[in-house]
Amino acid sequence: MDQWQTAGYLAWSMQNIASFLPVHPIARGARTTAFARTPQDLSALAVPHPWGGETRTFAEVMAATDTDGYVVTKDGAIVEESYSEPFAPQNVHLLMSVSKSLTTATAGILEGTGELDPSFHVAHYVPALAGSGYVGATVQDLMDMRTGIHFSEDYLDDAAEVRLLEEAIDWAPRRHEGVPLTLLGFLATLRADGPHGGRFDYKSCETDALGFVLEGATGINAADVMATRLWQPMGAEFDAHVGVDRVGAPMLDGGVSASLRDLARFGSLFLRDGYALDGVPVLPSWWVADTAIGAWDSRAAFANAPEPTLMDGGMYRNGFWFPRAGSDVFLALGIHGQMIYINRAARVVAAKVSTWPSPQDGEKLLSTIAAFDAAAFALS
């Protein structure tokens, strides 16, 4: 358990989570939406280096960014799809924080049905957090990463809250005394050190709290809510799953594993105003628009982030990253190189799963975005 997230083992473990950790299924339904196929060779596309280095080809960027697999689609058709053995189309891969975007989208669906009000306080749906730092925080604050909760996301510090959370759900050996035995118990210990609704401050705990909001709003385990409200209506091809703690609570900040094509299916909802590839409504169209436009102060809140974002002029809204101003591109991102790329202007969706040796790598992140930008430009 102290090795699976290290460079020597990551390539295997991210494709085999269910073999050594407890998981809860996110079941596909009877209906699968189909991609058309319009094959094109993207390998020779020129990709500028994000920091002014030597131009590389699309294929060189994919090779240099520890890619396990990628798929590029245009208007619901697969243009190019590639897998590095042993990863294959039917296999699932740990998504890390791409899981957050799936979770916020599920919350958006519940908003559309009236089961969830994002302006309500978190404790309205999760009474167990009524004595925590979440008092006064709204559900929208969770989705936009704008609570005042104190939480370090320093992945290289084993005493940071992001790593203590892993101890609480038994994803890591227990090195620190007093860490609660459940995810909800851990969230209840968190305290605020700033105002809620203020600046953007990326904290994984927010999406775990949102998972308990989903359960509180429906009375159903959040993984099952995701399955019945999102995964099945969008026509997923394969079952997904999510890691759970010892009482079965899903770790939705980074514990979902899914197939590459199903990530592209999810991303395609945002090209189609919330509709699946076969026209079935999944996400509220107004929620998709709200995500793309952002709140009136989303960009200012993002600019005031306490940590560098490498995305000047960007924003974070409803679980998605918008890397630059004046662009129709947005992203679902996870550490070690997980990404869904959505370019609404070019009508291109791409997905990539990777095993970067280190959790964060700015050069690899920006190079991947540049490669998908080049593909979107070529395809449009």
- Separation CA 17–CA 256 (nearest Å): 10
Question: 13, 43, 84, 97: which one is catalytic?
Answer: 97
Residue 238 CA to residue 266 CA, distance in Å, equals: 12
Can 97 be counted among the known catalytic residues? yes
- Contact, 89 vs 258, CB < 8 A? no
Element holding 73 (H helix, E strand): strand 67-74
Q: What is the DSSP letter of 188?
A: T
Q: CA-to-CA distance for 374 and 58, rounded, in angstroms?
A: 8
What is the Cα–Cα distance from 145 to 242, expressed in whole angstroms? 21
Query: What are the CA-CA distances from residue 124 to residues 63, 204, 209, 213 (Å)?
Result: 47, 21, 12, 9
Q: Are the C-beta atoms of 202 and 153 separated by less than 8 Å? A: yes
- Residue of 131, 122, 142, 253 whose CA lies nearest to 191: 131
- Residues in contact with 311: Cβ distance below 8 Å, sequence separation at least 6, in sequence order: 302, 321, 322, 323, 324
Phi first, then psi: give them for residue 340, nearest 5 degrees.
-115, 125
Residues 6+ away with beta carbon under 8 Å from 360: 155, 335
d(CA 252, CA 332): 14
CA distance 189 to 128: 10
Spatial separation of the C-alpha atoms in residues 49 and 371, rounded to whole Å: 9
Amino acid identity, position 177:
E
Element (H, E) at 343: strand 338-343
Cβ-based neighbour number of residue 297 at 10 Å: 17
Rounded CA gap, 280 and 15, in Å?
Answer: 30
Residues annotated as catalytic are: 97
